[in-house]
Amino acid sequence: AQKVTQAQTEISVVEKEDVTLDCVYETRDTTYYLFWYKQPPSGELVFLIRRNSFDEQNEISGRYSWNFQKSTSSFNFTITASQVVDSAVYFCALKYNFNKFYFGSGTKLNVKP
Amino acid sequence: KAGVTQTPRYLIKTRGQQVTLSCSPISGHRSVSWYQQTPGQGLQFLFEYFSETQRNKGNFPGRFSGRQFSNSRSEMNVSTLELGDSALYLCASSPKGDYQETQYFGPGTRLLVL
Query: Are residues B106 and A44, on separate chains, in Cβ contact within 8 Å?
Result: yes
Q: Report residue A1's pLDDT band, with 50, 70 and 90 as the boundaries.
A: low
Q: What is the mean pLDDT of each run of 10 residues along chain B (114 residues)?
A: 93 98 97 96 95 94 97 97 98 92 96 98
Query: According to the model, what pLDDT value does residue B14 have?
Result: 98
Mean pLDDT of A46-52: 94
**Half-sphere exposure at residue B97, Cβ-oriented, CA atoms within 13 angstroms:** 18
Q: Report residue A59's pLDDT band, with 50, 70 and 90 as the boundaries.
A: confident
Query: According to the model, what pLDDT value does residue A96 have?
Result: 86
Average confidence score pLDDT of chain A = 94
Mean pLDDT of A18-30: 95
Question: Among A2-6, A105-109, B20-24, B74-78, which is the least confidently predicted range?
Answer: A2-6
Q: CATH 2.60.40.10: does it fit domain A3-112?
A: yes
Q: Do B23 and B75 meet the contact criterion of CB atoms below 8 Å apart?
A: yes
Of A104, A113, A100, the C-alpha closest to A77 is: A104
DSSP string, A4-24: EE---SEEEEETT--EEE--E
d(CA B33, CA B105): 9
CA distances to A101, B18, B50, B51 from A18, in Å: 28, 46, 41, 44
Query: According to the model, what pLDDT value does residue B101 have?
Result: 92
Asked if the C-beta of B53 comes within 8 angstroms of chain A's C-beta atoms, the answer is: no
Type of residue numbered A72: T
Query: According to the model, what pLDDT value does residue B2 have?
Result: 85
Of B98, B104, B108, the CB nearest to A99: B98
Query: Are residues A99 and B48, on separate chains, in Cβ contact within 8 Å?
Result: yes
Higher pLDDT, A72 or B1: A72
Q: Do A46 and A100 meet the contact criterion of CB atoms below 8 Å apart?
A: no
CA distance, residue B98 to nearest chain A CA (Å): 6
Query: Are residues B99 and A44, on separate chains, in Cβ contact within 8 Å?
Result: no
Query: According to the model, what pLDDT value does residue A97 have?
Result: 80
Query: According to the model, what pLDDT value does residue A60 have?
Result: 87
Of B35, B58, B99, the CB nearest to A96: B99
